[in-house]
Amino acid sequence: MYTRVQQAQQKYGGSLKAIDSWLQERRELIVSYCRLAGLPPFEKDRHTMPSQDKIKEFCQLLMDYLSAGHFEVYEQIVAQCAVNGTNSRKLADSLYPKIAVSTDLALEFNDKYAEHLSTRNSGSFDLELSALGQAMEERFALEDKLIDTLHAKHVSTTTTA
């Protein structure tokens, strides 16, 4: 996941401020996820339950990332689709329901764990965090397709204008 966001930042960096900010938020989210999950280079904490503060911090980054995507980047993609043709709009329309699946999963995770990790929920935390990680990885791949479309249309319209 982290390598993919670095590649996206290299490929799309500097083209649109919204994309740059969003990819930086994605990078921060991935680092926070790896820390929470005890993945390298944070594996030393793998066998301990993360603190509520770390969980809350991750959930806040997750909600910020989802909001930025929905209210900033997706809106720009839709606007560019209106200007640059229906093929881009069809792509966005086909990908959005798939992206929404991970949004629902992320919202459920946030609702369940952001404010209080009860002993009742702690047994399922690792499984749900893993499922969220997989869903987010799929989401990032879908979002990269949207970013690629926006980047291609933005670059072509700004260089021909």
> 99-145 pLDDT, tens per residue?
999 999 999 999 999 988 775 567 788 899 999 999 999 999 998 88
- Pair of tokens at residue 137: 């990885």
- Pair of tokens at residue 46: 């793998």
3-state secondary structure of 49: coil
Q: What is the pLDDT of residue 22?
A: 84
> 25-41 pLDDT, tens per residue?
999 999 999 999 988 87
Domain that holds residue 95: 2-160
The CATH number for 109's domain is: 1.20.120.1370
What domain count does the chain have?
Answer: 1
With 0-12 / 13-18 / 19 or more C-beta atoms within 10 angstroms meaning exposed / middle / buried, residue 35 is: middle
Q: How far is residue 128's CA from residue 22's CA, in Å, rounded to a whole number?
A: 24
